[in-house]
Amino acid sequence: MADARISLSRDGTVGIVTIRRPDKLNAFDLGMLEALDDVSHELEGDLNLNAAVIVGEGKAFSAGGDIKAWAALKPNEFGFEWVRYGHRVFGRLAELRIPVIAALNGHALGGGLELAAAADIRIAEPGAKLGLPETGLGMVPGWSGTQRLVQRFGGQVVRRMVLGGEMFTATEALALGLVDQVVDSGSAFDAALAYAKCVAARGPAAVQVAKLMIASATGEGNGTAVETLASMLIAKTGDLSEGVAAFAAKRPANFKGEW
């Protein structure tokens, strides 16, 4: 891995992604975004993995984007090299074929909450706070805070965080649906790993297809989900292998339409 601040390890069929920049509350810079992108590609390509956990090292999950990493960027650089790229990286994590469990061992703010929202399940400790403070800096959430978060949690709770600057405790976040479980202090990672192992023990094909179906139902990547599911279905038929063989042999295909 080019940037050791984002590491990937494995526990059986579960991948463990750790954000390792505790001195900066795991705030992201460009190098960390690139490393997370690499990790997502590795998770997607490792067919031995059936689930993943993402956790921050130290006392925070992630404080979001490091202000020093983007404050001096020109508007076009800020938009394309920072916001659009980060949006794409988080989107790739959200669209992984395997479910991702976020262990919120501490605060998840701004881009940190957007990262947590890219996971399928969020397990938090009581001391964690969640919020989108960007408008207090004269900017807006840029890594899906006004898009994926609205789709997953509803517009009103996002309005409260973005427009009013409200931050929620883990207990409040649980009531609002921002997190799925609150566990004892110091146990978020263990709880997330246990949940991931539970997911990983279920039928991998069923879990992965179900994740696509749920994403489609919630309006996330409808086109991607439909075309992926349809392509998988067609690939199970004899027509695909016959078509490929006919193309290679430069002969007419003998399609049978058998499912």
Using the structure block, give the residue that is written with the tokens 């989107």.
91
137 exposure class (CB count in 10 Å sphere: 0-12, 13-18, 19+):
exposed
The alpha carbon of 129 is separated from its chain's Cα centroid by a whole number of angstroms, namely 19
114 as an active site residue: the answer is yes
Q: Identify the active-site residue in 114, 166, 220, 242.
A: 114
242 as an active site residue: the answer is no
| Number of other residues whose CB lies within 10 A of the CB of residue 2 | 8
Query: How many whole angstroms separate alpha carbon 97 and alpha carbon 10?
Result: 17
* Residue 52 near residue 135 (C-beta atoms within 8 A): no
Report helix, strand or coil for 196: helix
Q: Which of 4, 22, 108, 29 has its CA nearest to residue 62?
A: 108
Q: Which of 58, 43, 38 has its CA nearest to residue 104?
A: 58
Residue 56: which region, alpha, beta or left (left: phi > 0; alpha: psi -120 to 50)? beta
* Residue 145 near residue 109 (C-beta atoms within 8 A): no
Q: Identify the active-site residue in 95, 125, 134, 220.
A: 134
For the annotated catalytic residues, the residue numbers are: 114, 134
